[in-house]
Amino acid sequence: MDLTDILAGENAYVKAKEAEALEIFGQHAGPAVKTLHRLRRKFGHVLPITVLGRFASPAEGELFTDGKRKATRILFDAYAETVFRRVRDPEDFIVLLGAIEEKVATKLTFPCSEPPGAELTLIDWHEAELCRLAWVRTAWERAKPTAIRVLWQRLLTLLSGGASRNGRSIAEPVAAENTSAPPTVMPDASPHGASVEPAERAAPAPPTTTANGENGMDPRAVIDAFIGKLAEAGHKITKKDIWTVAGYGDPTEFERFQRGDARATRSAAAAFNRVLNMESMVFIQLLEKKSAPK
């Protein structure tokens, strides 16, 4: 399932949101960019552009950061919303969130005049991760089985195990009578008062155990589930926190692990799985120790 093909189905909407994101970023980044150009004319021959950016005023820097955050969220939500309407399966949708994150980064990458051929990526990675986690939870919420679905599937399972009668399963006539609609059952009340969808098929439930990517489970889904578990416990964490607790100072091994790269080492996979199986409080305590100034 290709992200480009999916987005092409709503090309006008996607292009409009991309233009909106870039316009907002340009408005917020304008003052800092002007200062950067002025400094580069004076000091560009001795200082790289990455250093010159530190001389922007706090107000300009804050505007620039806010622009990155808003542009990242607009793009991520636009792409994810488009895919969400077209991809019903939660696991397929969650896999595509990785491609969406990469597309946002590509869209917010701009060429630099110095050094020649260099590029500057201006995505707000933290904001992208928050967007990603929100859409993961939305996907699983849509897939969550309702009371009617659960009862309907239990009834069909019960009937399918019935004894044969005149060479036919007892379940056959019953199932035929009920193909048009599920039995009338009073569902459990939704906490938000939402109506229950008619039964079509049992939706998959969210993963309840972690994996190392070798048993068929998507490491990204396992990671998202862990971040979601911490969020429900009142702790907002990022992927950086996970690889920090695992004992890594940069994201290289973690990124290989989460995308199932063949170059990911067994020791790294073991370290990340150990972290992803931790209880919330144990993880937070270790993170605080790792983050404490030495």
How does residue 38 score in pLDDT terms, banded at 50, 70 and 90? low
| CA 209/CA 206 separation, integer angstroms | 9
For 262, other C-beta atoms within 10 Å of its C-beta total: 5
Buried b (16+ CB within 10 A) or exposed e, 224-241: bbbbbbbbeeeeebebeb
Is residue 282 included in any domain, yes or no? yes
- Asked if the structure places residue 68 within a domain, the reply is yes
Measured in whole angstroms, how far is the alpha carbon of residue 3 from the centre of its chain?
14
Whole-number pLDDT of residue 39: 62
Segment 135-177, tens digit of pLDDT? 988 988 887 765 566 667 777 777 766 544 444 443 344 333 4
Question: What do you get for the CA distance between the two ends of the chain, in Å?
Answer: 47
Boundary-marking domain end, from 122, 143, 164: 143
Q: Kindly state whether residues 8 and 131 are assigned to the same domain.
A: yes
CB 152 within 8 A of CB 199: yes
131 in the same domain as 151: no
| Sequential DSSP letters for 64-83 | HHHHHHHHHHHHHHHHHHHH
Tell which residue, 118, 87, 114, has the closest CA to residue 3.
Answer: 87
State the burial class of residue 219 (Cβ atoms within 10 Å of its Cβ: 0-12, 13-18, 19+). buried
Do 77 and 152 belong together in one domain?
Answer: no
One domain, residues 53 and 118: yes
| pLDDT averaged over every residue in the chain | 74
Query: Do residue 82 and residue 94 come from a single domain?
Result: yes
Task: Select from 193, 182, 197, 189 the least CA-distant residue to 145.
Answer: 197
Q: Point out the domain boundary residue: 143, 163, 183.
A: 143
Q: When comparing pLDDT for 199 and 141, which is higher?
A: 141
Kindly state whether residue 110 falls inside one of the protein's structural domains.
yes
Rounded to 5 degrees, what are φ and ψ at 120?
-125, 115
Whether 251 is covered by a domain: the verdict is: yes
Vertex 223: Cα angle to 270 and 227 (nearest 5): 125
- Same domain, yes or no, for 124 and 226? no
Distance CA 242, CA 259 (A): 15
135 within domain boundaries? yes
pLDDT, tens digit, for every residue of 62-101?
878 888 899 999 999 999 999 999 998 888 898 899 899 9
**Is 238 in the same domain as 269?**
yes
Q: Is 179 part of a structural domain of the chain? A: yes
CA distance 97 to 227: 15
d(CA 122, CA 279): 34
Q: Are residues 129 and 45 in the same domain?
A: yes
161, 276: one domain: no
CA 258, 281, 133, 68 torsion: positive or negative?
negative
User: Is residue 209, in this structure, part of any structural domain at all?
Assistant: no
Number of domains in the chain: 3
**Which of 143, 158, 177 is the endpoint of a domain?**
143
For 154, counting Cβ atoms within 10 Å of its Cβ (0-12 exposed, 13-18 middle, 19+ buried), the class is exposed
Same-domain pairing of 130 and 153: no
Task: Tell me the pLDDT tens digit for each residue of 224-276.
Answer: 889 989 998 888 999 999 989 988 888 888 988 998 888 888 888 888 888 99
Do 114 and 30 sit in the same domain of this protein?
Answer: yes
What pLDDT does residue 16 have? Answer: 92
In angstroms, the CA 21 to CA 107 distance is 10
Q: Rounded to an integer, what distance in angstroms lies between the CA atom of residue 21 and that of residue 12?
A: 14
Show the beta-strand stretches assigned E in the chain. Answer: 109-111, 119-121, 164-165, 168-169
Range of the domain at 158: 145-202
Question: What pTM did the predictor assign?
Answer: 0.49
Region 117-134: mean pLDDT is 82
Please check whether residues 186 and 198 belong to one and the same domain.
yes
Q: Residue 197 domain-assigned? A: yes
